Amino acid sequence: MEEPQQQFSRILTEFFDRMSSWEQGLVEGSGISLPQMHVLETLGNHRKLRMKELAEKLGVTTGTLTVMVQRLLQKDLIRRIRDEEDRRSSFIDLSPLGEEIYKRHHSLHDELIGELVIRLGDRESEHFFASMEKVIEVL
């Protein structure tokens, strides 16, 4: 019989693997990598951010983010907006095309969440999402 900690570890790993696989399937053939889609998702959820803020939310270095931002700028999926208060600084935000892709991708997330709520029911869904928030706090 599996120990609770081992069971929890196995379930979390399987959840992460399946979620990653599901996400990878959504971007496959789109010309956008999964990390690039995560940039679009983060910008879609938080709107215009400075590079440092965006890197922190994604859990990457600004050096890593710089490469992704350059590629997304080349694909016209994001735009750089000069900070009017600090002319040396700028924000990154979605372009109209990036906004369109973000909305399409986000609607697929909404569908998945809808399926989860149907499968779990209202009460269990509330418990699940509350538990996930606690897990996120630890991370």
pLDDT of residue 4: 86
Task: Quickly list DSSP for 92-116.
Answer: EEE-HHHHHHHHHHHHHHHHHHHHH
- pTM metric for this prediction: 0.84
CATH of domain 26-138: 1.10.10.10
Which tens digits make up the pLDDT trace of 52-78? 999 999 999 999 999 999 999 999 999
pLDDT of residue 126: 94
Residue stretches of the chain with pLDDT short of 50: none
CA distance 58 to 34: 12
